[in-house]
Amino acid sequence: MDLNGSTPDDGADLAERAAWLRAELSRHNRLYHELDAPEIPDAEFDLMVNELRRIEAAHPELAVADSPGASIGGAVSATFAPVTHAVPMMSLDNAMDIEELRAWGERVERALEGESITFVCEPKIDGLAMSLRYVDGELVSAATRGDGRVGEDVTANVRTIADIPEQLSDAPRIFEVRGEVYMPKSVFEALNEAAESAGERALVNPRNAAAGSLRQKDPAMTARRRLAFWAYQTGEVVGGPTFTSHRSSLDRVAGHGFPVNPRIVTCATIDDVIEVCQEAIAHRHDLDYDIDGVVIKIDDLDQRSRMGATSRAPRWAIAFKFPPEERTTTLLDIQVSVGRTGRATPYAVLEPVFVGGSTVAMATLHNRDQVRVKDVRPGDTVIVRKAGDVIPEVVGPVLSERPAGSTPWEFPQHCACPLASEFVRPEGEADTRCVEPACPFQRDQRIIYWATRGAMDIEGLGERTVMQLTDAGLVADVADIYRLEIAEVEALEGFARMSAEKLVAAIDDARSRPAWRVLTGFGIRHLGPAASQSLARAFGSVRAVLEATDEQRAAVDGVGEVIASSIGQWFAQPTNRDLVDRLERAGVAFDVMDGPAIDSSLPATLDGRAVVITGTVPGLTRDEAAAAVVARGGTAPGSVSKKTFALVVGDGAGASKLTKAEQLGVPIVAADRFSEFLESGEVPNNASGAGV
C-alpha cells in the first residue's frame, strides 16, 4: 500500500511497508513533538498515519500494541519534569476532505439514533496544546500534552503569558482549563525583523517558535516572545458546577478571564458545519494567528458520554484539516546539501513562489530515490506543496509543460566542497553520504549541531555565525570555538563589541555543560540525547563512555549494540581522539552530571542494577534521585525493561512505566522508602511486583 491507498498483494510487502511506516512515524513524531523540528508537512504525516491504520485494520496480525497509528503526541522531554494528566489529553481523528467530514457526521447521527445534535465549530489553532490546573483558584501547574497521559511541566514559562490568569475568583476547588498556546503572526514578524537587523537567525514559523519559546530554560526569554493563549475546553473539575454542554463550559471559562476564540460557532446540521469549514479556508490568512483546520465537537455532554472514545481519540469530535496549499513554479536547479554525518540531501532551487502563507525559494527532495521516483528535472514546471507551515516539498512535475530535450537529473558523484569528496551510498541504505570527514560542509554542520539547544546550547552561535568563523579561518572544529577572543569575533561582519562579548561569554559558559550534552554534541551517528543521558549516568564521565568497550556500552538500558558500536567506531578515528583531548585541555567539563556530584566513597549497594525512577522522590529532584542510584553503582535509565531491577514510584508517576513494570514483574518501591532501598540495595519487604 502506498500513500495513495493502493495495496500490494504480497503479504511480505505489506509487513515491510507497515514496519517502515511505524519507524518513520515514530521519527517524525519525535522531530515534531520533542525537537520542534518537523521534516515533512502535516498532510504527508496524516497520509502515512492513515495508510498505517488501513494496513493494521485490514491485517490485524500486522498490528502492534505501541503503533504510532494509535499514539498521541510525543514523548516527554527530559528537560522538564513530567506531569501526569488527571484526565488524558486525547488526540483527534482527522477528516482530510469534505467527504470524510460528512461521513463522520453520518456516523454520529446513526450512533445517536436521530436525536437532535448541535455541533460546535472551533478554529484549529496551530500551536501547542496546554493544560492549566488551578487549585482553590491558584495556578499550580501548566503542562504540555506530551503522550496524552504525561506531559512536560512548563509552569514557570506559562506564567509569563499575559492571557493566562494567575488567580481565579469563585472557582471550583480544582479547575483545569485546556487550550492552545500560540505566537501571533504580528509578534512572529516583529521578532524576525529584529533578528534580521541584529544579524541573528530568524524564527522558522509561529508554531515552532511558540513551542521553542515554551521550552526555554529561562522564563524571561519566554516572556520576550509574547505568546498568547486560546482556551477551548475544561479538563478535570472538582467542587464546581456540572456542565451540560460544551458551550456552557466555555462561557464559564470566559467568565474567569480566559480568552475564548470569538470565531467559535454552533451549527445545527453537518451542512452548516461544512459551510463554516469552507469559510475558514477562504479566510485563514486574514487572522493574526495560524490555523490549520477546524475542530468540530458535539455540544451536548451527555451525548458525548454515550458516543465514547477509541484508545486515542473521542468519537464525538473530529478535526477537519485544511487541504495542503499547492502552487506551480519553475524548478531552477537541483543541488545537494551535506550534513554533519556526511548525509547528502538533494533540494530544489525554485523560482520564488508564495504558498502556504510565505514565499518559498527552496524545497526538499528527501533523497536520490525520491528524485528518481518523482522524475523532477531542472527547467520543469513543478507543483510545490506547503502544508502545516513546515518544510515545503516538490510534489512532482507538470509533464505537459516539460521542455523539449529534457534529460533526467543525475545525482553527482562528488561533493561540491573544495575537496571534491566522493559520494557513496552504503549497501542497504537510502542515504548517500560524503565519505571525507574533512569535508568543509560536514565541518560546518558539526559545529552548528554542537551549539544547538539539544546539544551544548550555546546562545548566539548559529549557522550564519559558524560559517563566518570557518570562512575567516578562525574555527576548524568545535574545540576551536573555545579559543576565540572578543577581538576576533568583533572583526566579523555584523558584530559590535557588545555582541562579540556576549558570544564569547556564552561559549565560556558552555564549558560546564552536563556530560550527556557533550556526548550528544559530538554528533555521533545514532547517538541522541536520551542514550547520551543513560550513558553519562552509567559511566560518570564522557571519557569513561568513550573508552568503554562496545559490550559495556551496549549493556546500558536504552543503548544497544548499534549505538555502542557507532561510538566505538567514532572514537577509533585519530582525529576524533585528538578532538576529545583538545576539548578537555580547553576546559570543557567531561564529568558534570545534571544532579549533585557523585560521592565515590558510598557503598556500591546497587552495583550493576538498573533502577527506573518515576514521579517525585521526597526531598530530591529526579536528577538528584538518579545521581543517588549511580553513586551506588547502579544505572538510572528512563524506561522500564526486562533488565530493570526495580521501579521507584512517587507522586505524579507515569502510568506507562507502572503498567510496563507490572507486565514484566518488576518490583515497585514506594518513593518514601527510597533511602532505605539505597542503603541496603534490596527491595523493601512490602514492595509490590514479582520476586518479592
Q: Which residues are identified as catalytic?
A: 124
CA 677 to chain centre: 35
Give the helix/strand (H/E) hosting 444.
Answer: helix 440-451
CA dihedral 14, 19, 23, 25 (to 10 degrees): 40
Nearest to 392 by CA among 341, 443, 347: 347
Long-range contacts of 555-564 (CB under 8 A, 24+ apart): 556/635, 556/637, 557/610, 557/635, 557/637, 557/639, 557/641, 557/643, 557/644, 558/530, 558/531, 558/534, 558/637, 558/638, 558/639, 559/531, 559/534, 559/535, 562/526, 563/526, 563/527, 563/531
Are 568 and 550 a contacting pair, CB within 8 Å? Answer: yes
Q: In what order do the strands lie in the sheet with 644-649?
A: 610-614, 644-649, 668-670
Nearest to 687 by CA among 648, 640, 635: 648
Strand partners, 358: 355
C-alpha cell at 325: 496549499
- Residue 205: CB partners within 8 Å, gap ≥ 6? 188, 290, 358, 389, 390
**Residue 638 carries which DSSP code?**
S
Burial class (CB in 10 A: 0-12, 13-18, 19+), 2: exposed
What 3-state DSSP class applies to 550?
Answer: helix
